[in-house]
Amino acid sequence: MDDAIARIRTQIAAADLERQARGKKIDPSWFHRAKTAMRHLQRERVELLATGPVTARRKARLKDAIIEVVRRDHDEASWATVLNEARCLVAGEG
Residues 41 and 43: their CA atoms lie apart, in Å, by: 5
Domain-wise residue ranges, the chain = 2-91
Mean pLDDT of the chain: 91
pTM of the model: 0.53
Residue 19 has pLDDT above 70, yes or no: yes
CA–CA separation, 67 and 22 (whole Å): 67
From the list 28, 37, 46, the residue with the least C-alpha distance to 6 is 37
The residue among 79, 76, 82, 78 whose CA lies nearest residue 94 is: 82
In the DSSP assignment, the letter for residue 25 is P
Using one digit for the tens of pLDDT, what is the confidence trace for 28-60? 999 999 999 999 999 999 988 888 788 888 899
